[in-house]
Amino acid sequence: MQGGCFGGGTGIVAACDIVVAAEDAIFSITEARWGLMAGIILPQLCRAIGVRNLRRYALSCERLCAQEALRIGFAHEICKVEELDAIGVRIVETLLMNAPGATASTKLRTLRIADAFIDDGLLRDLVQEHAVARQSAEAAEGTASFLQKRRRLRPPDDRPR
């Protein structure tokens, strides 16, 4: 990971088996700032950084530097930007030395043991919840403020009760 990784990008990083962050990497779970909830990526983020860290960073939308990402377990390693390619090659070469079947079964068993699979019902609920949130006045204002590079206004509370 190099440079900025915000919103849904953090969910992609959280789903990765191995994360190497360049020294300039910045992460932020930004959805709440823009009137949304990071629902679709919350399971991956929770498993990657733990519920306490997720509550802090998803609620505050703070930016995490590479060092903080490493400290909380979001990244496995930090390197200089110019070293990213070489480290990536080293990791891939290490993985390619493993037996493919054993690698796949190890990954699947690890996910099962950790109860890290998202079943179809939960995925459906997360997608539906996200779709509803995207249609709110709060999300519309959040998106507009993001695109216009201004502070978000506080629209009327239109959350479903």
Domain segments of the chain as ranges = 4-147
Of 31, 4, 10, nearest to 142 by C-alpha is 31
Q: What is the mean pLDDT of the chain?
A: 90
Residue 84, Cα to own-chain centre: how many angstroms? 20
The DSSP annotation for 46-77 comes to HHHH-HHHHHHHHHH---EEHHHHHHTTS-SE
pLDDT of residue 37: 86
Question: Taking residues 49-70, what's their average pLDDT?
Answer: 97
Q: Would you say residue 26 has pLDDT above 60?
A: yes
Instruction: Map tokens 């909380």 to a residue.
Output: 72
Superfamily of domain 4-147: 2-enoyl-CoA Hydratase; Chain A, domain 1 (3.90.226.10)
Task: Kindly indicate the confidence band of residue 38, based on its pLDDT and cuts at 50, 70 and 90.
Answer: confident
Claim: this prediction has a pTM higher than 0.85: no
Of 27, 123, 141, nearest to 75 by C-alpha is 27
